[in-house]
Amino acid sequence: MRYAQGGGLTAERRAFRERLRAEAAERFARGDDTAVVAHDLRVTVRSVQRWRRAWAEGETRALARRCGEQLQARRVDQRL
């Protein structure tokens, strides 16, 4: 397996990405536009769209869980 720890991200970088998702969730609650959130957080609009969908399905905890599930699915795919 090439990336034992979440797609090659260090623990520090994973924590940084988690903070971005938390900030995005706060912005979603305020009603900020997807493109504005993406620009301000310096991420792609597509990432923010995925985060917003996860957030809409279950608020902040779902956002963190969904991102973790995607990471775990990638790990399984890499093993195959």
Residue 53 has pLDDT above 70, yes or no: yes
**What pLDDT is recorded for position 73?**
46
33 HSE (CA, 13 A, CB side):
3
Residue 52 has pLDDT above 90, yes or no: yes
To which residue do tokens 């995925």 refer? Answer: 50
Residue of higher predicted confidence among 18 and 66: 18
Report the range of poorest mean pLDDT among 5-9, 18-22, 45-49.
5-9
Phi, psi of 3 (to 5 degrees): -120, 95
Residue 80 has pLDDT above 60, yes or no: no
Residue 69 has pLDDT above 70, yes or no: no
